[in-house]
Structure 1
Amino acid sequence: MPSTDENKSQSDSKMARRALIASTAGSAIEWYDFYVYGLSAALVFNHLFFPSSSPYAGTLLALGTFFAGFVARPLGAMIFGHFGDSIGRRGVLIVTTLLMGFGTFFVGLTPTYDMVGIWGAVILVALRVVQGIGVGGDWGGSVLMATEWNSAKGKRGFTGSLPQFGSPLGLITATIVTEAANRMIPQESYESFGWRIPFLFSFLLTGLALFLRLRVKETSSFEEAKRDGTIRQAPVAYLLRHHWRRVLQATLMRAGQHASFYIFTTFVLTYGVTSLGQTRSSMLLAVMLAAAVSLGSTLFWGSMSDRIGRKRMLQIGIIVMFLFALPYFGLLNSGITALMVAGIVLSLVVHDMQYGPQSSFIAESFPAEVRYSGASLSYQLSSITSGGPAALIATAFMATFNSTLPIALYLMGMCLIAFLALFFMPSVDDATDTHDTPMPVHDWQTAS
């Protein structure tokens, strides 16, 4: 008959598997909500909510509402990081799922400029902030729910990449639903009511995410912290007092990856349609193909980091991204369909060299007592410094210079920032760390 320890181990392993499924599926649904907004902002929101503006100005304004969600993400990270570190990961994930789901659903009910004038855009921004707060608090919990189980030791690069896997899965789902609505409904009807369908569809996806996440217990790491009495009552304040340098480093380390993603998936849609003369459907299908390939590459590079180390994998990824920036736009500007599609697909494979192992690396850089706060805040601050402005900056550069060269140079500059930030971060991997040991203390840093 199995011993008590064996029964507990089997129970923990079963719950860890549930946690992986719930984290991955929940993350995919959360990102579906976020990306379906980005697709609509790039394709139809410019004339639905800003009809009096020029095409580029309208696109900038529409992407500005998209940026509002990025500004709200660090706020969500701070709010839910506090509760995630003080009361637990599981309950926080339930709340963030509801926030994202209802925020997205009500975007689908928002009146356009023809109905209420500029108030439609105001409502849109408010709902985008709700979305941003939700996703800002959700990412950290999803990653920790996947990696903080004892059975994840030795393979946290892979398990941490599973919530990241939810991002391309969410992008694929958002693209499929958006494209299906666009194809089934005449263009005039689509811009009247069809664009709302992908947002309203999120109601069903939110229900699925809640079902999966309610079946998961609290992580073993957090339960151990509770038993040991190491829970901080004000984890965010403690984090910013003792580990602010690590937060800054992790934020800047994301610069190249985060900026590139929104250039590769959001800006490219506008650029392809307005500057390259491609159809909206062809650009959406190319991005969807890239996201499908990204499903495998995200997991591959995450698993590779278990073999060669997270930091080394990230360094390689940044260098490859730097070298890829100019060829990427060369492929797009070639005018040859096969080369354009190849550039779009390769862009996410290169992006995933950083994205796959990034979640585990960031989580491993903070001690358990402030891990939710530290991982969430550093990850989401990048939304303001890198991810959020990227599509706006690329669109503005294109309108000003009528050339993709400044955009490529901008991306290369972000890679340099990322490489320098990563250089000063220590290597903390499963091979040498228990995942619950506080990060190394340097002579320039005080921790207690």
Structure 2
Amino acid sequence: MSSEVIPIPPAAAGRVNARALISTPYSGEVGCDRCGLRLPEVEAVGGCPRCASEGVYVNLRTVFHAYDPVAAFDPTQPGQFGWRAGFPLPREAAVVSLGEGNTATVDLPGEAARLGVAAVAVKDESRNPTWSYKDRLAAVAVSRALTDGADTVVVATTGNHGAAVAAYAAAAGLRCVILTAASASPVMLAQMLAYGAKVIALPTAADRWTVMSVAVREHGWFPVSSFQSPPVGSTPLGIDGYKAIAFELHRDLGCGPDVVVVPTAYGDGLAGIHRGFVELHAAGRIDRVPRMVAAEPLGTLAAFATFAAGFLVRPIGGAIAGHFGDRVGRRKMLMITVLVMGGSSTIIGLLPTYNQIGYWAAVLLVIMRMAQGLAIGGEWSGAILLAIEQAKGGKKTGLLGSFPQAGNAVGLLLATGSFTLVSSLSTQEQLLGWAWRLPFLASVVLLVVGLVLRSSLTETPQFEKLVESGAGPERLPLLTVLRSQPRNFLLSMGSRLGVDISFYVFTVYSISYGATALGLPSSTVQIGLFIGAGLGIFTAPLFGWLADRFGVRRTYVLGLAFIGLFAFPFFAMLGVRNTVVTWIALVLAYAVGIMAGWAPFAAFLSRLFPARVRYSGTAFSFQLAGTPRWRIRPHDRCRAIRGIRHPVRRRELPRARLCDQHHLLAVGPVRPGRRRRTDRGKGLIPRRGIILIETPDREEQCHEHQGREVPGVVDGPGLRGAPGVRRRPRAGHQRHPPAHRT
């Protein structure tokens, strides 16, 4: 594998002549579904220019005249090219096929019975030549590159996309250049090289896009993937290959499904399959376009699950810390919580990687996240009680309780600042490789400072008074709270939700909403949050003082009212797409709205429980109220294409299937009279389903086939003798020659 940029050849030949397309449904144009712009296909590279000028980056799609995919099917064509009328290819153009497509669809009656639907079937996309449904795109894209007269195809990828393109380029006799990252899987790199591709490892994604942009725009290489930031997707001239999946499903089922779930975070496959169903519907072959759902890949879910592990154990930490805090004292528990929190954070920065110890790296990370959750479960309550119980005669509880609340702003300030600093001083590869460890390792400084400060504190006067009274501590303080204070316990849980939910809407969701829906740079929102957090350090004591002056409850309720009323102008201000207006909105939301409710909340909560059980009551209720917000339900982490009818209750979908990035799920056609109402009559749920299985673990399969002869397996021309270049025969499918060009 080379790390140098190879010489760029002269520009390739021009695009297909429009006259060659007269006899096909393809119009020779591309269009934007968002703004309706139509352009000649030569402008297909780079996405929609009109949307990009508005800060929204959208890929284009090919435009076809009305046609009937079923009637246009040509059984004499190889692989999936029987559906070539739906591909952007001239009628007489040569195609490159390795026998992709026509994968089997098999009924699963047992699975249907378990799900309570009429039928379930499996479509095995791992039976494609390179074990991936990416072969669908690669076959059409490389065929189009051959038609255009290009001598080189180029793709920026680190996975099976590159392997598929390399295999088809080799069969077509074209040179394939894959721009990848040094962190790419060695198994995938070996497969790319085995197919004869030139693999170039570059330090960052930006470097890959720069090289690819020069090669495409100035030297005529044919691009298969995106090469700009933010990426808009693969070439529209190849995405149409995914339409064959929709056509095959209609053929195998005799009708169209109601819902198709694609296990991918990328939109190419989702968009292509959806487009196929749109064309079937336009031709009158199906009565509705199915709803398309993108299920989160397992890696993304695993990251969220690791993040959630710390939140799920917080109530346990609150119960443990509250129990001992009410029995042995607030100060001792605070010393333990800061030691566990700081120690586990520092250890995360020292954890070995997956490449070093395998799955144990993830196990250790989850354990450290759980240790953090246990520590923070008792940290917040202990801190506010240590401050509030210092007040003499119950005065100034609002002000004293606001100082620990200002720690929220300090934490947000440090987190945002450290991430911004580390990401700005390191490249993307460095950040993912080792620079992410630096903020965690810096936790040791905060650990030492925390231990020194807390060691100088004394126990609270109220707890010492309880000890001196001679009445022993409660044997089970949490049980006493639940028995004697159920109303206040529920009130403490409910009172947290308003501030808590709005905090994550204003600080977390606003970043995603601004970047995806409004096209705002994430740095704009982060800087606004940074400013708001800095001002929040000062506004928290201000609202604490106001709580002492005008009443804790009154100040807290007014803060919640401001949050509720400001939610509407907040999003309107973000919609202006102006940097200064965005900053003002974020400052008002955090420094005023959040802190107006958050600062007096500590004093409000501590007044609900007597001193004997106050630690247990505040800690457990506070953490228990925050846990439901962080439930991780993989079958709910889906994204549906807008405007498609027939909603489906998510709990009816097979949950385990959606957790695996190698499975496709589709809830299929409803038989007449087999619909039933969902709860409260909301929507309809189909009684028939299909599960489409794509690819098993790629690395395992590569190792399984490495250098091993499989009965019935055929090598493709130009690929003979290459290790790992083997294909399994597909059940129920008549094989075409392994590499077919007509």
Deviations 1:369-401 (A, max 9, x none): 001111111111121134x35xx89xx799448
- 1:209 aligns to 2:450 (yes or no): yes
Alignment of structure 1 residues 40-439 onto 2, 5 Å: 54=265, 61-113=302-354, 119-151=360-392, 153-230=394-471, 231-348=473-590, 349-386=592-629, 388=630, 399-400=639-640
Cα distance in 1 between the residues matched to 2:639 and 2:573 = 20
Cα distance in 1 between the residues matched to 2:565 and 2:524 = 27
- Once the two structures are TM-superposed, the CA of residue 325 in structure 1 deviates from its matched residue by 1.9
- Once the two structures are TM-superposed, the CA of residue 123 in structure 1 deviates from its matched residue by 3.0
Deviations 1:220-266 (A, max 9, x none): 10000001134212211211221122111111111110111122222
Deviations 1:175-225 (A, max 9, x none): 222211112222221111111100110011101000000011111100000
Deviations 1:248-296 (A, max 9, x none): 1111111110111122222333333444434443332221111112112
Contact kept? 1:150, 1:221, Cα under 8 Å? no
Cα distance in 2 between the residues matched to 1:128 and 1:300 = 34
**Given the two structures, how large is their TM-score scaled by the length of structure 1?**
0.72
Cα distance in 2 between the residues matched to 1:61 and 1:263 = 23
Determine helix, strand or coil for the equivalent of 1:277: coil
More helix by share: 1
How many matched pairs?
349
- Once the two structures are TM-superposed, the CA of residue 334 in structure 1 deviates from its matched residue by 2.6
Determine helix, strand or coil for the equivalent of 1:254: helix
Contact kept? 1:72, 1:132, Cα under 8 Å? yes
Contact kept? 2:391, 2:400, Cα under 8 Å? no
Deviations 1:3-39 (A, max 9, x none): xxxxxxxxxxxxxxxxxxxxxxxxxxxxxxxxxxxxx
Q: Comparing 59-68 with 247-256, which one deviates more in the overlay?
A: 59-68
Cα distance in 1 between the residues matched to 2:641 and 2:545 = 41
Higher relative contact order (CA 8 A, sep 6+): 1
Deviations 1:117-169 (A, max 9, x none): 55544433222111111011111111111111244732110000100011101
**Given the two structures, how large is their TM-score scaled by the length of structure 2?**
0.44
Deviations 1:419-448 (A, max 9, x none): xxxxxxxxxxxxxxxxxxxxxxxxxxxxxx
- Once the two structures are TM-superposed, the CA of residue 86 in structure 1 deviates from its matched residue by 0.4
Cα distance in 1 between the residues matched to 2:554 and 2:314 = 28
- Once the two structures are TM-superposed, the CA of residue 313 in structure 1 deviates from its matched residue by 1.3
Cα distance in 2 between the residues matched to 1:278 and 1:265 = 15
Contact kept? 1:258, 1:382, Cα under 8 Å? no
Deviations 1:335-360 (A, max 9, x none): 22222222221111211111000001
Q: 1:273 to 1:152 in 2, by over 3 A?
A: farther
Q: 1:179 to 1:113 in 2, by over 3 A?
A: same
- Once the two structures are TM-superposed, the CA of residue 66 in structure 1 deviates from its matched residue by 2.3
Cα distance in 2 between the residues matched to 1:118 and 1:356 = 42
Cα distance in 1 between the residues matched to 2:393 and 2:504 = 30
Contact kept? 1:162, 1:299, Cα under 8 Å? yes
Contact kept? 1:276, 1:333, Cα under 8 Å? yes
Determine helix, strand or coil for the equivalent of 2:313: helix
Determine helix, strand or coil for the equivalent of 2:627: helix
Q: 1:238 to 1:259 in 2, by over 3 A?
A: same
Cα distance in 2 between the residues matched to 1:59 and 1:355 = 31
Cα distance in 2 between the residues matched to 1:61 and 1:333 = 33
Contact kept? 1:287, 1:345, Cα under 8 Å? yes
Q: 1:294 to 1:149 in 2, by over 3 A?
A: same
Contact kept? 1:247, 1:377, Cα under 8 Å? no
Q: 1:153 to 1:77 in 2, by over 3 A?
A: same
- Once the two structures are TM-superposed, the CA of residue 64 in structure 1 deviates from its matched residue by 3.5
Determine helix, strand or coil for the equivalent of 2:319: helix
Determine helix, strand or coil for the equivalent of 1:95: helix
Q: 1:401 to 1:60 in 2, by over 3 A?
A: farther
> Gapped runs of 5+ residues in structure 2?
1-182, 186-262, 267-295, 644-742
Structure number, greater radius of gyration: 2
Q: 1:356 to 1:400 in 2, by over 3 A?
A: farther
Q: 1:347 to 1:119 in 2, by over 3 A?
A: farther
- Once the two structures are TM-superposed, the CA of residue 98 in structure 1 deviates from its matched residue by 0.8
Q: 1:95 to 1:70 in 2, by over 3 A?
A: same
Q: 1:124 to 1:275 in 2, by over 3 A?
A: farther
- Once the two structures are TM-superposed, the CA of residue 172 in structure 1 deviates from its matched residue by 0.7
Q: 1:122 to 1:177 in 2, by over 3 A?
A: same
Q: Comparing 93-102 with 105-114, which one deviates more in the overlay?
A: 105-114
Determine helix, strand or coil for the equivalent of 2:491: helix
Cα distance in 1 between the residues matched to 2:530 and 2:355 = 31
- Once the two structures are TM-superposed, the CA of residue 54 in structure 1 deviates from its matched residue by 2.0
Cα distance in 1 between the residues matched to 2:562 and 2:347 = 40
> Gapped runs of 5+ residues in structure 1?
1-48, 404-448
* Residue identity in the other structure for 2:462: S
